[in-house]
Structure 1
Amino acid sequence: MKRYILFLLLACIAICARPKDKATKLYSLTRIDAANPDSFIYRRAGKVSLKAYVFRPATGGKHPAILLFHGGAWRLGEAAWTFGRAKEFADKGIVAIAIDYRLANNGLSPIDGVEDACAAFAWVRAQAKTLGIDTKRVAGYGVSAGGHLVAATALIPAVNGKKISDAERPNALLLYSPALNMAPDPYFNGLMKGKGDPAAYSPSAYITRKLPPTLIIQGERDSIVYTKDAIAFRDEAVKAGAKCTLYVYPGVGHLLTRNLKIQYKDFDSDPAYAADAHQREDDFLTALGYMKK
């Protein structure tokens, strides 16, 4: 439990200002403000309206898409935490969509977040024509707990007893300090208590050759999510015949922080490593045909 106290309180790769608190009705597509991304309600879960924030490339036509999921220990965070990276992807020709999802508070669990992530991928594909998206090139980008959501949508067979359809799954995975091995994790088990079997929502338990092309960024001395789990995930994926690449950065911790004593907040990401990691992500997407050199 200790290693997860306020896990990812400030987690983000680039934090930008939160957009105006407005959203269009479900499936409608009205621009809010030229200075902000388009805001849409992609799902209504009870009284909660879940938003997707769309950053578009400057050019028209059909583009690949990437959905970004923030971290925050499944209990904290907002889509705005990923706006900086989303803008960078859009500038390079990808429709980038930052996703809000339900947090594991007030009786909810990470299962609800996984369910929302599946719904987000399905919504994006349903809006492909209007958003100018190639439905066969829809990647998922997840930071820490968000990495778990992305990997889970790609690998686990069902959520809340409902089979996950192809439309609800990503075509490629970019995972930044991801949580992957959930069954032995005491913190995750605590969040899941009474809601479901933690092993059923552990991406590491379902690796097959059907895993989409995957890139993992990991700090060698991460005390929040363990490097050994990332290595085991990569090794199992390669053994199964899937394409999975792992970059481990020496001497740094969670989110590539240089602050090794307190890795759950006050992040001091190594700037050279962070820049290299983003370049690795761009190279990965270029190799898959999502970006041009």
Structure 2
Amino acid sequence: MIRSVGCSLLFLIISLFSELAGQAAFPEEPVDPPFKTSANIPYDANIIIGKHFKSLDIYAPPSGKNHPVVIWVHGGAWKIGDKRGVDSKPSAFTQRGYLLVSINYRLHPQASYDQQAEDIAQAIHWIHAHATEYGGDPDELFLMGHSAGAHLVALVSTNPVYLKQQSLSLKSIKGTILLDGAGYDIAEHMTTTGPTARKMYSAVFSDDPQIWKAASPVTYVRKNQSIPPFLILHVARRADSRKQSEAFARILQENKIKAEVIAAPGKTHLTINREIGLPDDLPTQKIFGFLNQHK
């Protein structure tokens, strides 16, 4: 188990530092590009430290308007990662008529998990205010995150404080998609996981059970709070992610919130994210089925 977690984390670190492929070469005869890209847009004009800090990239269909918007939040153990690590997602989403927005947020230890969630809420506010300028529909916002990003979007989707600080509410989110997270109940994870994973989590969430509770999306699940529906995907053979995913979904369902859990066979913590958009990919099929159902 410990070896499996260590290998998954190593693969994740490698993948999150990879760069997007260069722009494809087009023939001399003019053709429409597969999508339009607007990169390194700051969503916090008051804090600009390098072009990738507190900024976002927008991938839009080449034409049309009022496209539903999927906001992508990368993973990386809350400490690493970059919005450029989108793999095939821009093509996959824009070809199906969605606007994809990939965001950066401050990383630990420069920011706590709480500040990271605040960054995501601030980015959502910016997207809500500017989506129409890029062909998006501000009333059709979905959140999607992988690993640590799954924890953060789950937290923003359940604790109304973050969006309320941005003059928004949980009603602003049409649905939330989680990819192979294991931090929906930090307290449970910290008391049952092995020493390698516990060390990684305690570096971010300390050894204080009160912080564990405050950082856990399960803490905030209540009926009649406008919490959006959830699609929760996990690697089939990863025990901690399966346990956390199923428990989180059960709590959501008990509070009359729609939640579906999908186990992805044959996937790793790396490939469940990297292979979104590939033909015959089960997570891809489930993601677009969820989006089509709730848009």
1:147–1:53 Cα change, 3 Å: same
The answer on whether the counterparts of 1:86 and 1:98 sit within 8 Å (CA) in structure 2 is: no
**1:70–1:146 Cα contact (<8 Å) kept:** yes
Structure with a larger share of its residues in helix? 2
Match of 1:221 among 212, 217, 237: 237
Superposition RMSD in Å: 3.6
Q: Which amino acid aligns with 2:154?
A: A
| 1:58-115 Cα distance to aligned partner (Å, 9 max, x none) | 222211101001111111111111252133111111111111111113x422222211
The farther-off stretch of 193-202 and 212-221 is 193-202
- 2:269 maps to 254
Using structure 2 for the length normalisation, give the TM-score: 0.76
- Can you give the 5+ residue segments of structure 1 that lack an aligned partner in the other structure? 20-32, 258-266
CA displacement, residues 181-226 of structure 1 (integer Å, 9 cap, x when unaligned): 2234333232133998232121122223432111111112225x42
Change over 3 Å in CA distance of 1:18–1:73 after alignment to 2:
farther
Q: Give, in whole Å, the separation in 2 of the partners of 1:149 and 1:157.
A: 13
Q: Which amino acid aligns with 1:150?
A: V
Partner of 1:280: 286
1:171, distance to aligned residue in structure 2 (A): 2.0
Worse-matched range after superposition: 229-238 or 163-172: 163-172
Write the distance in 2 (CA, Å) between the matches of 1:278 and 1:34.
19
For 2:140 and 2:218, locate their aligned partners in 1 and report how far apart those are by CA, in whole Å: 23
Map of 1:182 onto structure 2: 186
Gap regions ≥5 residues in structure 2: 24-32, 191-197
What's 1:77 paired with? 81
Structure 2 counterparts to residues 165-204 of structure 1, below 5 A: 165-166=168-169, 170-179=173-182, 180-183=184-187, 184-185=189-190, 186=198, 187-193=200-206, 197-204=211-218
Contact 2:278 2:284 in 1 (8 A): no
Taking structure 1 as reference, are residues 272 and 99 closer, same or farther at Cα in structure 2, changes over 3 Å only? closer
Q: 1:252 to 1:200 in 2, by over 3 A?
A: same
- Say whether 1:125 aligns with 2:156: no
Match of 1:212 in 2: 228
Q: How many residues align?
A: 264
Contact 2:74/2:148 (8 A) holds in 1? yes
Work out which of the residue numbers 133, 149, 152 in structure 2 matches 1:149. Answer: 152
Residues in 1 aligned to 2:92 and 2:38: alpha-carbon distance in whole angstroms: 16
1:136 and 2:139 are equivalent in the alignment: yes
Alpha-carbon distance change, 256 to 55 in structure 1, aligned in 2, over 3 angstroms: closer
Q: Are the structure 2 counterparts of residues 103 and 273 from structure 1 closer, same or farther at C-alpha, using a change threshold of 3 Å?
A: farther
Please give the residue correspondences for 1:263-278 in structure 2 after superposition, counting only pairs within 5 Å: 275-278=281-284
CA–CA distance in 1 between the matches of 2:22 and 2:60?
Answer: 17
- With over 3 angstroms needed to count, the CA separation of the structure-2 counterparts of 1:94 and 1:227, relative to structure 1, is same
Rate the CA distance shift 1:83–1:36 in 2: closer, same or farther, 3 A. Answer: farther
TM-score (norm 1): 0.76
Aligned twin of 1:30? none
Q: C-alpha displacement at 1:144, in angstroms?
A: 0.9
Q: Does 1:57 align with 2:61?
A: yes
> For each residue in 1:3-30, what CA deviation from the matched residue of structure 2 results, as whole angstroms up to 9, or x when unmatched?
4665821346x962379xxxxxxxxxxx
Contact preservation (8 Å) 2:60, 2:99: yes
Kept after mapping to 2: 8 A contact 1:121/1:170: no
